[in-house]
Amino acid sequence: EIVMTQSPATLSVSPGERVTLSCRASQSVNSNLAWYQQKPGQAPRLLIHGAFTRATGIPARFSGSGSGTEFTLTISSLQSEDFAVYYCQQYNNWPPRYTFGQGTKLEIK
């Protein structure tokens, strides 16, 4: 099983700040990496796929980078609606054994 490790677990930031979240895979997943945002009481929302491609309707302040085993999600200027939990997910295997990271919680400083 490919283990996805996210860091940090919690990040306290102020609105308007730039923030970078990290995700590491225990083995290469090429660029088969997605990022999701989840707010309390809601289902996850797809932000990024293919490591850097924004999903439909996702603001340009969200950007993804990386390949292989190291990935980052950057939010260029945090808005109030961005405080949430962020998950990375790899979808590299076939037959599928997709796995998610444990999440990074963005909280207001």
Partner 1 sequence: EVQLVESGGGLVRPGGSLRLSCAASGFPFSSYWMSWVRQSPGRGLEWVAKIKQDGNEKHYVDSMKGRLTISRDNAKNSLYLDINSLRVEDTAVYYCVRTITPGGNGIYAYWGQGALVTVSS
Nearer to partner 1, 69 or 104 (CB): 104
49 contacts partner 1 (rule: CB under 8 A) = yes
9 contacts partner 1 (rule: CB under 8 A) = no
27 contacts partner 1 (rule: CB under 8 A) = no
Task: Give the residue ranges of DSSP H helices in the chain.
Answer: none
CA dihedral 9, 31, 39, 107 (to 10 degrees): 30
66 contacts partner 1 (rule: CB under 8 A) = no
61 contacts partner 1 (rule: CB under 8 A) = no
Instruction: Give kind and range of the element (H or E) at residue 24.
Output: strand 19-25
Of 102, 74, 78, 76, which Cα lies nearest the Cα of 88? 102
Binding site for partner 1 (CB under 8 A): 1, 32, 34, 36, 43-46, 49-50, 55-56, 87, 89-91, 94-103
